[in-house]
């Protein structure tokens, strides 16, 4: 573990104009390292380096297959250094070491997938009759600005970087102030893959300074942001001033509808992954379960058993996949989640298990289950972003869908039933960008991901994501 980490701009590691920030290990509450913090001048330098690369043609002039091979090479670099990266990621973010390894593998998969996709973006010919040849081609925006959250700092950065580079964009990445350290390997991967200086720039900075400067930079032609609704609105407003398109992934309040014929033995696994993986700090977490009244009590007890079975403590001590959970990313995040649980109790929800800060060093919250939650409670409407499961009941399909759709979000949803006709009906009516049937987090890198409503717009993952990074040019030729 280095004591001081620098920013990577225009092919060089350097200090930041905004000084240094202390990075804390949320698993212990102790100081971990210091990180250089970029200011607006650093951001401008990074964007202009990326613009220089774009205008030089260094990325767009090469054959897409060659560019794709370079992208894939970045993934192989991550795989080769998985243990080193996972160790740092675990310490700075708080997740169990085995979860950190899983994140690095997921990041490498994005580079593999989008590297393969680089040569598949093709135009089309449009028949206009005799005397004309008309066709389209896809061109990169040039500079892709990417603002990355702290919950999956390597994997989410890889998701955007891989798609941006595969389509020929130069990329400027701002990491989170909480988890900037592990992103250094992405810069090293770009160098190892042979990308020219300025093609990949990665720095940390305060959101109100570096983040605002990046989102509002006139040469940032396309912006990708993952984070809160409030910050997403600010990013979109800044981008709108220079008409830059955005991809906004702004979280959710996702619901699983569990019918009376659902396999609850299998559903216990979905509870474990859906709400307690990464301590519930997942935008698509299964934060609400809407269960048929005939199975309500049974499901509540099963959920409580899952929560109580988890071994909670420092992630670095939990390196084997299993029933473990690490710290939340910070005391602030932990305290906010605990406060929302207390508010829910005051509003009439029943605390079945957990809900309290743990009496150990670090940002730990007990895995929590709440029952007797009603749709109008704040816990059923607002994103907790923590290991807190809210259970509600329903009587018929229409009521279940109405409750599931009854928030301002619309990221993912789930239906659990043996009746596929029932599942299909619900899938058509649920207002969400992705619907899981009988398995939470079904799908993968290949499947498009994005939200309705305040969950944002644009799509990540899958081939659909590539269209966010290119614009269509039409060429119409008169042939005499």
Cβ burial 116-153 (10 Å sphere, 16+ → b, else e): ebbeebeeeeeeeeeeeeeeeebebbbbbbbbbbbbbb
With 0-12 CB in 10 A as exposed, 13-18 as middle and 19+ as buried, what is 474? exposed
Is residue 451 within 8 Å of 409, Cβ to Cβ?
A: yes
CB 415 within 8 A of CB 437: yes
DSSP code, position 151: S
Cβ contacts of residue 141 below 8 Å, gap of 6+? Answer: 169, 221, 222, 245, 469, 470, 471
Residues 251, 156: contact at Cβ < 8 Å?
no
- Spatial contact of 71 and 193, defined as CB atoms under 8 Å apart: yes
Cβ neighbours for 287, distance < 8 A, ≥ 6 positions apart: 252, 253, 254, 255, 275, 280, 383, 384, 388, 389, 390
The candidate with the shortest Cα–Cα distance to 436, out of 297, 183, 166, 254, is 254
Contact criterion met (CB below 8 Å) for 413 and 255: yes
Alpha helices in 174-228 (DSSP H): 184-193, 212-215
Helices H / strands E in the chain, number of each: 14, 22
Tell me, yes or no, if 283 is annotated catalytic: yes
Q: Say whether 200 sits in a helix, a strand or coil.
A: strand
Catalytic member of 283, 366, 383, 460: 283
The rounded distance, in Å, linking the Cα atoms of 454 and 252 is: 8
**349 sits in which H/E element:** none
Beta partners for residue 256, in sequence order: 289, 414
Residues linked to residue 223 through DSSP beta bridges, in sequence order: 145, 246
Catalytic residue among 82, 112, 249, 383: 249
Q: Is 480 exposed, middle or buried (0-12, 13-18, 19+ CB in 10 A)?
A: exposed
The reply to whether 249 belongs to the active site is yes
Query: CA 386, CA 333: separation in Å to the nearest integer?
Result: 8
Please check whether residue 187 is in contact with residue 157, taking contact to mean a CB–CB distance below 8 angstroms.
no
Dist. CA 383–CA 378, nearest whole Å = 9
Output b/e per residue, 272-308; b: 16+ Cβ within 10 A: bebbbbbbbbbbbbbbbbbbbeebbeebbebbbebbe
Pairing of strands 388-394, 324-325: unpaired
Instruction: Tell me which residues are annotated as active site.
Output: 249, 283
């Amino acid at each position: 573990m280095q004591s001081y980490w620098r920013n990577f701009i225009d092919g060089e590691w350097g200090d930041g104009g905004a000084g240094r920030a202390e990075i804390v290990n949320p698993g212990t509450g102790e100081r971990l390292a210091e990180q250089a913090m970029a200011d607006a001048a650093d951001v401008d330098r990074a964007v202009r380096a990326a613009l220089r690369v774009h205008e030089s043609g260094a990325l767009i002039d090469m054959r897409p297959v060659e560019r794709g091979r370079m992208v894939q090479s970045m993934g192989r670099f991550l795989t080769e250094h998985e243990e080193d990266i996972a160790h740092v990621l675990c310490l700075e973010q708080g997740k169990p070491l085995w979860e950190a390894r899983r994140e690095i593998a997921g990041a490498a998969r994005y580079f593999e997938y989008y590297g393969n996709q680089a040569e598949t973006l093709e135009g089309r010919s449009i028949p206009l009759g005799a005397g004309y040849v008309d066709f389209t081609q896809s061109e990169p925006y040039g500079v892709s600005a990417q603002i990355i959250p702290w919950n999956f700092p390597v994997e989410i950065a890889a998701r955007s970087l891989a798609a941006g580079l595969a389509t020929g964009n130069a990329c400027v990445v701002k990491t989170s102030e909480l988890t900037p350290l592990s992103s250094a390997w992405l810069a090293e991967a770009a160098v190892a893959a042979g990308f020219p200086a300025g093609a990949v720039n990665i720095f940390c900075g305060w959101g109100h300074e570096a983040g605002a400067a990046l989102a509002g930079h006139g040469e940032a032609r396309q912006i990708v942001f993952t984070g809160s609704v409030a910050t997403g609105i600010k990013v979109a407003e800044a981008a709108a001033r220079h008409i830059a398109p955005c991809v906004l992934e702004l979280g959710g309040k996702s619901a699983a509808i569990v019918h009376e014929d659902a396999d609850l033995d299998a559903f216990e696994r979905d509870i474990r992954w859906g709400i307690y993986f990464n301590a519930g700090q997942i935008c698509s977490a299964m934060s609400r379960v809407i269960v048929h009244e005939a199975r309500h009590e049974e499901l509540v007890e099963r959920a409580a058993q899952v929560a109580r079975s988890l071994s909670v403590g420092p992630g670095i001590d939990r390196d084997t996949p299993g029933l473990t959970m690490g710290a939340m990313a910070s005391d602030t995040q932990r305290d906010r989640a605990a406060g929302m649980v207390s508010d829910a109790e005051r509003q009439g929800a029943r605390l079945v298990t957990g809900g309290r800060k743990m009496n150990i060093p670090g940002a730990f919250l007990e895995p929590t289950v709440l029952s007797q939650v009603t749709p109008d409670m704040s816990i059923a409407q607002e994103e907790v972003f923590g290991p807190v499961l809210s259970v509600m009941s329903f009587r018929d399909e229409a009521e279940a869908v109405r409750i599931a759709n009854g928030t301002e979000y619309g990221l993912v949803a789930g239906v659990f039933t043996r009746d596929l006709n029932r599942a299909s009906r619900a899938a058509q009516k649920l207002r969400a960008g992705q619907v899981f049937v009988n398995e939470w987090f079904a799908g993968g890198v290949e499947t498009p991901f994005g939200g309705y409503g305040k969950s944002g717009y644009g799509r990540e993952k899958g081939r659909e994501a590539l269209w966010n990074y290119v614009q269509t040019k039409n060429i119409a030729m008169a042939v005499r």
